[in-house]
Amino acid sequence: MTNRTRYALAACLLAGCVVVYAIEALRSPTPAPTPNGGLSMRGLFIGPEASADAARLAALCDELAECIELDGVREGGPRLKSGVAFDDLRVAAREARLRGESIGARQPHVKKAIHDYLDAAVGQSGGPVSPEQRSKWVAAYRELSRACADATR
């Protein structure tokens, strides 16, 4: 085998690797429905802190669901009355529970999946929230909690 043949072979192998890498880079994981129709976050948590991140997000989403639900039955009426208030609660809870750390920065596929799921489940309105919409928010956060908890099993 001549040097020219070796270089051509190496160039072909390198080009093949680049093509495979480019295809994989373009394919980003998305949450897939589980067999029972629920959300799946399996394969979206990556890296050395994947398991801990999944557990933290599961706990955070569960707490958010609980807070929103309890606020809805609060004597004197709810304190959280809009989609913006729910988002403010999420930010405050994340800052308090995670001490300002952003799991979304470390887990971009999870961040996108959660964003897409919440948009589909509860919409994008920051306006007033009806009791029915509040129930949807609670159910969405509970489903996210379950999906994050199941992601490491």
Q: 51 with 10, same domain?
A: no
Q: Give me the pLDDT at residue 20, please.
A: 41
Q: 76 with 113, same domain?
A: yes
14 φ, ψ (degrees, to nearest 5): -65, -45
Q: 84 with 23, same domain?
A: no
Q: 45 with 90, same domain?
A: yes
Q: Give me the pLDDT at residue 5, please.
A: 64
Q: 44 with 85, same domain?
A: yes
Q: Where are the alpha helices (DSSP H) in 27-130?
A: 50-72, 83-97, 103-106, 108-122
**pTM, full prediction:** 0.74
Torsion of CA 83, 84, 88, 90, to 10 degrees: 30
Q: Give the number of other Cβ atoms within 10 Å of residue 54's Cβ.
A: 24
Q: Contact, 65 vs 145, CB < 8 A?
A: yes
Q: 60 with 113, same domain?
A: yes
| Count of the separate structural domains present in the chain | 2
pLDDT per residue, tens digit, the chain (153 aa), is: 786 765 544 444 444 433 444 444 444 454 444 444 579 999 999 999 999 999 999 999 999 999 999 999 999 999 999 999 998 999 899 888 888 788 999 999 999 999 999 999 999 988 999 999 999 999 999 999 999 999 977
By residue range, what is the domain housing residue 7?
1-30
Contacts of 51 (CB under 8 A, 6+ apart): 45, 152
Q: 79 with 130, same domain?
A: yes
Q: 88 with 119, same domain?
A: yes
Contacts of 46 (CB under 8 A, 6+ apart): 107, 109
Q: With H, G, I as helix, E, B as strand and everything else as coil, classify residue 74.
A: coil
Q: 2 with 55, same domain?
A: no
Q: 65 with 108, same domain?
A: yes
Q: 50 with 124, same domain?
A: yes
Q: 88 with 144, same domain?
A: yes
**How far is Cα 58 from Cα 41, in angstroms, rounded to an integer?**
11
